Structure 1
Amino acid sequence: MFGFKGGETSDTVIRKKGYLADAQKKWNFLTHYDLSTIKTKGQLCNMIKIRRAVSEEEAVADVEKWMAGKDFS
């Protein structure tokens, strides 16, 4: 998700770095390391659910709202 696979264009790297910084602003309890190891939406939802002590539904809704319009490919 936020990690880099290698061989990505500079535009993709810049976009993902921007998303990572944006996610850190939204969920300030997530570290740079936390975010750089997240590979899927499910992992992000689970981390938010655990760290904020919210329901899975609330975590998923929060992540889906934040992800709207973003391209993680």
Structure 2
Amino acid sequence: MKSEYDLSKMKSRKNPYASKLKKPVTMRLSEDVVEYFKSMAEKKDVPYQSLINLYLRDCVAHHREIDISWQEKP
């Protein structure tokens, strides 16, 4: 192996994985929700943010929709 390589003649190209990169977002989640995912993540030995991402990805893959119906107060 060479001690130095000349990369100045290399052609650049686009990152083929750029479309798969994660986008940082800021969310406000309830403490109990965060604790739920943290405890589950600890059991599965995976970061809790990754676990939340996997859960949301599963929702996308299965086209899950939430049914939000507010009950009227009497």
The TM-score range, normalised by the shorter chain, is 0.3 to 0.5
* TM-score of the two chains, using structure 2 as the length reference: 0.32
Q: Which has the higher helix share?
A: 1
Q: Which has the larger radius of gyration?
A: 2
